[in-house]
Amino acid sequence: MLEARQITQIYGKQERIVLDHLDLRIGSGEFVAITGPSGCGKTTLLCILGSLLRPTSGEVWIDGQCLTEISAQELAYLRAEKIGFVFQFPAFLPTLNIMENLLLPTALALKKAHQSRNNEEKSLEQQRLDQEEVHYRALVLLEQVGLAGREKDLPSTLSGGEQRRVAVARALINRPRLLLADEPTGALDQETGEHLIDLLAQWNEKEGLTLVMATHDHSVARRARRQICL
């Protein structure tokens, strides 16, 4: 499903080489942990795999499509439809409540779905149904991450760990095929962290979600079926 070919990333004027001709193949439905010491390039690799960062050289392929060859618009749709991203330091729009923040990534995916339908009247009805469906999905996800009832709260009123859990719900809202998670348990206590990994593992097993997770926590990495150490 995901392939990196000869990825090299060089940063700054001092030309610091962080990734050097890296090759990587990840099959559909895999659960992979990327481990390695702080500063070895885990976040850089996830950003390149998720097309948020264009590497200095090399190619990334998703489902047989080379990301360096498609337009910025196509890339935005591809990300919205196929890829969920849990950032190491999640950011939210501070004036929107949790539900509104959760629904933000659905706008582009719904737009793409509506564009591919022909009949306008049907499409309007479908849009209403789609919006109800994503709203329901958001409520279910909030419950799964242990935040039922918090949908009207502003992000600033949530703790760091709670924000992390909202970030996971947001990354799953479009039912992506690929989830790239950067230290998803970073700010969480052990029990909450384990619960979150259980949830991701369930999505991996039941929904076939391909899961690529960067972590320096070995007990978290052991939950993956494959570990790649940078």
Ligand X SMILES: Nc1ncnc2c1ncn2[C@@H]1O[C@H](COP(=O)(O)OP(=O)(O)OP(=O)(O)O)[C@@H](O)[C@H]1O
CA angle 216, 182, 32 (to 5 degrees): 70
Residue 12 binds to ligand X (criterion: CB under 6 A)? yes
* Of 42 and 170, CB closest to ligand X: 42
Candidate ranges 31-39, 120-128, 129-137, 196-204; the one touching ligand X (CB under 6 A): 31-39
Residues 6+ apart with CB under 8 A from 15: none
Q: Which is nearer to ligand X, 30 or 182 (by Cβ)? A: 182
Give every CB contact of residue 99 below 8 A, 6+ residues apart in sequence. Answer: 135, 138, 142, 151, 152
Residue 40 touching ligand X (CB under 6 A) = yes
Q: Tokens at residue 123, please? A: 């499409």
Residue from 26, 35, 41, 138 touching ligand X (CB under 6 A): that is 41
Q: Which amino acid is located at 186 in the chain? A: G
Task: List binders of ligand X among 169-228 (CB under 6 A).
Answer: 216
Amino acid at 59: E
State residue 131 phi and psi, 5-degree precision. -70, -40
* Binding residues for ligand X, total number by CB under 6 A: 13
150 binds ligand X, rule: CB under 6 A? no
Question: Can you list the positions of beta strands (E) in the chain?
Answer: 2-11, 16-26, 31-35, 57-62, 65-66, 83-86, 178-182, 210-214, 226-229
Tell whether residue 35 is a contact of ligand X (CB under 6 A).
no
CB of 89 to ligand X, least distance (A): 10
Q: Does 18 bind ligand X (CB under 6 A)?
A: yes
Q: Please report, as a single letter, which amino acid is at residue 197.
A: I
Q: What does the per-residue mask of binding to ligand X show for 69-108, with x meaning CB under 6 A?
A: -------------------x--------------------
Site residues for ligand X per CB under 6 A: 11-12, 18, 36, 38-44, 88, 216
